[in-house]
Chains A and B, each alone.
Chain A
Amino acid sequence: MTLLISRRELIAATSAAFAFQIAPAALAAGTVENKRLLTVVLRGALDGLALAAPTGDPTYESARGGLIVPASQIGPEFRLNDTFSLNPNMKNLAGLYHKKQALIVHAVATPYRRRSHFDGQDILESGHPAPRGERTGWMNRLIQQLPHVRTTAGKIGFAAGADLPLIMRGKAGVVSWAPPGLPASSDDTRARLLDIYNHSSPEMAELFEAGLELEGLSEATGASGSMTMGNSMSPRGASKLAKATAIAAGKLLSSDDGPRIGAMDLQGFDTHARQNPLKGRLVGLLKRLDDVIGQLEVSMADVWDETVVLFITEFGRTVRMNGTGGTDHGVGTVAILVGGAVNGGRVVADWPGLSAGALFEGRDLHPTTDLRAVLKGVASEHLGVPGDRLAGEVFPDSQSVRPMADLVRT
């Protein structure tokens, strides 16, 4: 049931939307049918403590050691409240927070308590409490609960990317948009492959390293001959790709007769090494994330007041730094909500603290909020899906998880 549309068709669809400004009465602003929801899956496990640091927690500095942002580096615009500060790379997010259009839920986690990316993402996207090789995603099942809306392609769901992510798979038809060229594999993927070659095939390691060097040269001279957009795997290429994807998603979701419910993802948050929050690998990732937030605000300007954008990740990272200046897989992390419909300017957290005794299994931020409470809160308040449907079909076996209230302006 996937419909692939080309970039040209996307532009055509968008301009067609501009040509017919008179929306059907049923789609008047404020009705459920007109609401937008975009979920951005941050793959690799985002370090929630690096994004929103508990700078007011007396145990923060000792617990995080080399991973802290010094207080002197945090301008007033990044102070969220007495306890939390944003990473100074999150300029757009900070702006939205002070406009009360961004909300951060902290110490949050899915029901998953182990630390495999695959299973973690399965649970995050399937909406089931345990990994079970689920083939459908909670957003697709959510779409099935929504009233019918007339759209150009006849579909309410939308996914950006070369494939359909699990979160959007299912019975409901979904429009998908793929960026031209091959999607990039990240610096991180390259580094891991090089490690594999170094331990298995010196010859291929040498070849691969030479190839990376050549590519760097051709990029530096602008003589790129590769087929990939933004020539792929450089951080710059990945950022360009993320930006293009955000613009496409934003435009499509904001056209009158386009899809309403979308999903996209950003990769590479698995920062096992060199994670210094001010100059390490995480900086580029956070900037990319912040850039996407900024792009969405612009490209969805027309429908911003009807919009919630959710940023979720499979789990968090260890509180303490590991041996390579990074962090390993953890549990508790953040969820971020932005959009004109968000009841923002708040950090929502039942804060467990970072003292040794407070940590989950002695190493991770203890999760005190079930992510499903957040997702169910958005689904019920923003999209009007009744609680029994949410607990039954969308998030099975979640009766005990009450939807979080007041996430959305009503």
Chain B
Amino acid sequence: MNAGYLATKRFGLGARPGDVARLSADPRGQLMAALQPDSNISAPVPGFTDIPSMVHAGRAWISKRKEMLAKDTSDDAIKNVRRAIGRNLYIRTYENAAIARASHAISTDQPFVERLVQYWSNHFAVSAGKGGALRALAGHYENNAIRPHVLGNFRDMLHAVVKHPMMIGYLDNRRSIGPNSRIGRKTGKGLNENLAREILELHTLGVNGGYLQTDVTNFARILTGWTIYGPKSPDAYTFWFRKRIHEPGTWTVLGRKFGDHGLAQGEAVLDMLAAHPATAKYVATRFCKHFVSSNPPPTLVARLERTFLETRGDLAELARALVSSDEAWQAERPKLLPPYDFFVAAYRATGAQVEARFFLRTLNNMGQPVWAPPSPEGWPEEDDAWMTPSALVERLDIANTIARRTRLAGSVPSWVQDILGDSLNQNTMLTLQRAESRQQAIALALMTAEFQRR
């Protein structure tokens, strides 16, 4: 199999015309080059300048709507509101960010870096489905907590994630109150363990990472006070270490005592978790599951685990270890592209014009709306996660639509060769050549196993 082609699938977002040829001579070298610290990891359009002003604008929209509908709540009145002040600002912000993300993925010449952004964003999954202002923060979260660190350090990413308002809001740490804190004693309110548990289970040690319920509870105690400013504050929805709800005291997590130094207490726990051998094992395993297969070769996992430990969580090194291994280039390709990746790959290949509403609706229908996985575990990594009969039929509809919007510069066979190398068998090539229209040929090419798998 053409290694350039495999590189665009396994370590990329699918080929744009020219990509396979460019990668073929030295796929490993080119992928490695993309992992340099000075590599372009720039973010797509953020959609707004800073969080507080976005939240304030969103709230102003809501009160304006309320005011306009105070007396008349008929359908016509609701239509008038839309006409006057547009749709919900939080939703619009979310949609714009989602579209910007996809457009960036479709046009980027650093697809491997973008794959890593998507990967880590899903490792530390949040959901815009939580609603309210949080919906609008999903894009900001990825661009600020994830993206800057994908070629940096796991520890730094973990810190950025846990302090980001999106994660704090999503995993309910906003109102986790130390029972013995000043406010806790006054109100009788208590802990919410959600964030602490998911950090241990999903972000660092893994479910079999050797922690106990007491570790979860103590970590939750330590994380009390990691909250965000209220919506009316000038710093609305930005990180706030609020001492008055922080549980005082020294607590033990994984056998280590953490003295109460305010914010630094939680930061010290995160540092310990980032450096923990169980984290290395869990991160390496999940990484290989994503890029190689549900049952990754143990030798590969072990090598990446070692790399993670030895480099103290250098994520560029982790990616380099993957690319330089032989196991990651095995010919067997069990994974079907997730819907988002299919969408991006199809547009990269065809150069068709992306239409925002079609994109959003299609991903909803295919079951993978951007930044809205069903649980904190994120989108599934199992090889067959997306292999359902009706989904495949639905994809043909989508492929057909994209094909209709495609203008190829050259012939279909040369385009297919360009995008998929020589991976198609003779029967497929003949069927494409004999298709009844260029559109049909393009749609069929987008549906081949060679296009759909990675």
- A118 in contact with B412 (CB, 8 Å): yes
Once A43-B437, A44-B436, A183-B404 are accepted as A-B contacts, the answer to whether A233 and B396 lie under 8 Å apart by CB is yes
Q: How far is the CB of B425 from chain A (nearest CB, A)?
A: 6
- Of B219-227, B239-247, B312-320, B427-435, which binds chain A? B427-435
Q: Which residues of A contact B425 (CB under 8 A)?
A: 199-200
Q: Which of B396-454 contact A (CB under 8 A)?
A: 396-401, 404-405, 407, 409-412, 424-425, 427-428, 431, 433, 435-438, 440-441, 443-444, 447-450, 452
Q: Which residues of B contact A121 (CB under 8 A)?
A: 437-438
Cβ of A399 under 8 Å from chain B: no
- Of A145-153, A187-195, A357-365, which binds chain B? A187-195
Q: Which residues of A contact B450 (CB under 8 A)?
A: 200
Q: Which of A170-202 contact B (CB under 8 A)?
A: 182-185, 188-190, 192-193, 195-197, 199-201
- A133 in contact with B410 (CB, 8 Å): yes
- B440 in contact with A211 (CB, 8 Å): no
Cβ of A228 under 8 Å from chain B: yes
Give Cα distance in the complex from A162 to B399, angstroms: 13
Q: Which residue of A lies closest to B438 (CB)?
A: A118
- A117 in contact with B436 (CB, 8 Å): yes
Q: Which residues of B contact A239 (CB under 8 A)?
A: none
Cβ of A244 under 8 Å from chain B: no
Cβ of A207 under 8 Å from chain B: yes
Residue A182 contacts which of B401, B410, B428, B431 (CB distance < 8 angstroms)?
B401
- B436 in contact with A269 (CB, 8 Å): yes
Q: Which residues of A contact B449 (CB under 8 A)?
A: 197, 200-201, 204
Cβ of B387 under 8 Å from chain A: yes
Once A188-B436, A192-B435 are accepted as A-B contacts, the answer to whether A211 and B389 lie under 8 Å apart by CB is yes
Cβ of A232 under 8 Å from chain B: yes
- B397 in contact with A182 (CB, 8 Å): yes
- A185 in contact with B435 (CB, 8 Å): no
Q: Which residues of B contact A228 (CB under 8 A)?
A: 397
Once A117-B438, A118-B412, A267-B436 are accepted as A-B contacts, the answer to whether A185 and B389 lie under 8 Å apart by CB is no
Q: Which of B353-384 contact A (CB under 8 A)?
A: 361, 365
Give Cα distance in the complex from A331 to B449, angstroms: 34
Count class of interface residues, chain B: 35 or more
Q: How far is the CB of B365 from chain A (nearest CB, A)?
A: 5
Q: Which residues of B contact A47 (CB under 8 A)?
A: none
Once A162-B401, A185-B400 are accepted as A-B contacts, the answer to whether A200 and B427 lie under 8 Å apart by CB is yes
Q: Which residues of B contact A226 (CB under 8 A)?
A: 394, 397
- A208 in contact with B438 (CB, 8 Å): no
Give Cα distance in the complex from A189 to B409, angstroms: 23
Give Cα distance in the complex from A189 to B361, angstroms: 23
Once A207-B389, A211-B392 are accepted as A-B contacts, the answer to whether A44 and B397 lie under 8 Å apart by CB is no
Cβ of A291 under 8 Å from chain B: no
Q: Which residue of B lies closest to A116 (CB)?
A: B433
Cβ of B391 under 8 Å from chain A: yes
Q: Which residues of A contact B412 (CB under 8 A)?
A: 118
- B452 in contact with A210 (CB, 8 Å): no
- A208 in contact with B410 (CB, 8 Å): no
- B393 in contact with A211 (CB, 8 Å): yes
Cβ of B390 under 8 Å from chain A: yes
Once A162-B401, A197-B449, A200-B449 are accepted as A-B contacts, the answer to whether A192 and B393 lie under 8 Å apart by CB is no
- A200 in contact with B428 (CB, 8 Å): yes
Q: Which residues of A contact B435 (CB under 8 A)?
A: 117, 192
Q: Which of B331-361 contact A (CB under 8 A)?
A: 361
Q: Which of A196-232 contact B (CB under 8 A)?
A: 196-197, 199-201, 204, 207-215, 226-228, 232
- B396 in contact with A189 (CB, 8 Å): yes
Cβ of A270 under 8 Å from chain B: yes
Residue B397 contacts which of A43, A200, A212, A233 (CB distance < 8 angstroms)?
A233
Residue A192 contacts which of B361, B394, B440 (CB distance < 8 angstroms)?
B440
- A204 in contact with B392 (CB, 8 Å): yes
Q: How far is the CB of A118 from chain B (nearest CB, A)?
A: 5
Q: How far is the CB of B430 from chain A (nearest CB, A)?
A: 10
Q: How far is the CB of A238 from chain B (nearest CB, A)?
A: 11
Give Cα distance in the complex from A163 to B353, angstroms: 10
Give Cα distance in the complex from A121 to B436, angstroms: 10
Q: How far is the CB of B228 from chain A (nearest CB, A)?
A: 37
Q: Which residues of B contact A232 (CB under 8 A)?
A: 397
Give Cα distance in the complex from A129 to B251, angstroms: 83
Give Cα distance in the complex from A135 to B409, angstroms: 9
Cβ of A268 under 8 Å from chain B: yes
Q: How far is the CB of A109 from chain B (nearest CB, A)?
A: 17
Q: How far is the CB of A18 from chain B (nearest CB, A)?
A: 23
Mark contacts of A282-319 with chain B using CB atoms, 8 A cut-off: 1 yes-contact digit, 0 otherwise.
Answer: 00000000000000000000000000000000000000
- B396 in contact with A215 (CB, 8 Å): no
Give Cα distance in the complex from A197 to B452, angstroms: 12
Q: Which residues of B contact A211 (CB under 8 A)?
A: 388-394
Cβ of A45 under 8 Å from chain B: yes
Residue A117 contacts which of B387, B404, B424, B437 (CB distance < 8 angstroms)?
B437
Give Cα distance in the complex from A199 to B443, angstroms: 17
Q: How far is the CB of B224 from chain A (nearest CB, A)?
A: 45
Give Cα distance in the complex from A325 to B258, angstroms: 81
Give Cα distance in the complex from A141 to B436, angstroms: 26
Q: Which of A111-135 contact B (CB under 8 A)?
A: 116-118, 121, 133, 135
- A162 in contact with B389 (CB, 8 Å): no
Q: Which residue of A lies closest to B352 (CB)?
A: A163
Q: Which residue of B lies closest to A45 (CB)?
A: B436
Once A45-B436, A182-B400 are accepted as A-B contacts, the answer to whether A195 and B392 lie under 8 Å apart by CB is no
Give Cα distance in the complex from A209 to B393, angstroms: 9
- A208 in contact with B437 (CB, 8 Å): no
Q: Which residue of A lies closest to B393 (CB)?
A: A211
Q: Which of B279-324 contact A (CB under 8 A)?
A: none
Give Cα distance in the complex from A199 to B448, angstroms: 11
- B427 in contact with A199 (CB, 8 Å): yes
Give Cα distance in the complex from A183 to B365, angstroms: 15
Give Cα distance in the complex from A86 to B431, angstroms: 32
Q: How far is the CB of B221 from chain A (nearest CB, A)?
A: 47
Q: Can you name 23 A-B residue pairings with CB atoms under 8 Å?
A: A44-B436, A45-B436, A117-B436, A117-B437, A118-B437, A163-B404, A182-B398, A183-B401, A185-B397, A193-B447, A195-B427, A196-B427, A196-B444, A200-B425, A200-B450, A204-B449, A204-B452, A211-B388, A211-B392, A211-B393, A213-B389, A214-B393, A267-B437
Given A44-B437, A196-B448, A214-B390, 9 more pairs with CB closer than 8 A:
A43-B437, A45-B436, A116-B433, A117-B435, A118-B441, A135-B407, A200-B450, A207-B392, A227-B365
A residues apposed to B, CB below 8 Å? 43-45, 116-118, 121, 133, 135, 161-163, 182-185, 188-190, 192-193, 195-197, 199-201, 204, 207-215, 226-228, 232-233, 267-270
Smallest CB-CB A-B distances: 6 pairs: A270-B436, A211-B389, A210-B389, A211-B393, A185-B400, A201-B449
